[in-house]
């Protein structure tokens, strides 16, 4: 009985701690292929990180780059499958993390995710935040760019051979109909 009581208290504590990490999400905007967007991070309040969304199809290869415009910013990001109104809804859908892949002057590097394969068509969320910035000023600017390479549709060899055979029969049929 005593161990069940302790287990119940532990479950309540874990559920309360999980709720403390939940934060409402307000998306800054939608990222579109090849377009660069500008964002801003502040050290105060909920604007210390920003949420962006984009759409992708299954099989797409997605590349995401964040470039600092303020030298003291050390940006990083997480990629999540889906969009949500609360951050706790996305935590189990984390797909990737990027930080320091691009060498730049300033603290550490800028993040880049190269050719990430999308498994399912749908909406995706990107959370950009300050990883280890020197908070000298209150407003740090960055740019984010999405590059989406659509999935390749391959025609298999058997399909090509059957199409070629069909074309040959068509040419043979035309030869028989033409007057000599």
Domain boundaries along the sequence of the chain: 23-156
pTM of the model: 0.72
State the pLDDT confidence band at 23, using cuts at 50, 70 and 90: confident
Neighbours of 93 (CB within 10 A): 13
Structure tokens belonging to residue 74? 């050390």
Out of 11-15, 52-56, 80-84, 108-112, least confident range: 11-15
* Tens digit of each residue's pLDDT (9 = 90 or more) over 71-87: 888 899 999 999 999 99
The better pLDDT of the pair 1, 83 is held by 83
Out of 121-125, 151-155, 176-180, least confident range: 176-180
- pLDDT attached to residue 42: 83
Topology of domain 23-156 in CATH is Jelly Rolls (2.60.120)
- pLDDT attached to residue 14: 38
Cα dihedral 7, 9, 13, 15 in deg (nearest 10): 70
Average pLDDT over the chain, rounded to an integer? 81
Q: What is the mean pLDDT of residues 12-29?
A: 63
* Tens digit of each residue's pLDDT (9 = 90 or more) over 33-54: 999 999 999 876 545 799 999 9
- What distance in Å separates the CA atoms of residue 44 and residue 174, rounded to the nearest whole number? 77
The better pLDDT of the pair 97, 20 is held by 97
Are 65 and 116 in contact by the 8 Å Cβ rule? The answer is no
State the pLDDT confidence band at 168, using cuts at 50, 70 and 90: low
Out of 26-35, 38-47, 150-159, least confident range: 150-159
- pLDDT attached to residue 175: 63
Residue in 15, 52, 59, 13 with CA at minimum distance from that of residue 35:
52
Q: What is the mean pLDDT of residues 1-10?
A: 48
Query: Counting every residue, how long is the chain?
Result: 180
Structure tokens belonging to residue 143? 């740019």
């Amino acid at each position: 009985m005593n161990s069940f009581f302790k287990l119940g208290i532990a479950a309540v504590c874990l559920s309360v701690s999980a709720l403390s990490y939940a934060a409402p999400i307000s998306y800054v905007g939608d990222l579109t292929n090849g377009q660069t967007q500008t964002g801003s991070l502040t050290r105060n309040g909920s604007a210390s990180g920003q949420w962006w969304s984009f759409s992708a199809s299954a099989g797409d290869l997605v590349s995401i780059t964040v470039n600092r415009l303020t030298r003291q910013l050390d940006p990083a990001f997480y990629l999540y499958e889906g969009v949500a109104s609360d951050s706790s809804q996305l935590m189990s859908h984390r797909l990737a993390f990027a930080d320091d892949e691009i060498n730049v002057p300033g603290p550490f590097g800028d993040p880049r995710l190269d050719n990430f394969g999308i498994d399912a068509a749908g909406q995706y969320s990107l959370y950009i935040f300050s990883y280890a910035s020197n908070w000298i000023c209150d407003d740090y600017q960055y740019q984010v760019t999405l590059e989406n390479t659509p999935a390749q549709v391959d025609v298999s060899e058997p399909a090509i051979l059957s199409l070629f055979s069909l074309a040959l029969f068509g040419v043979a049929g035309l030869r028989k109909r033409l007057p000599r």
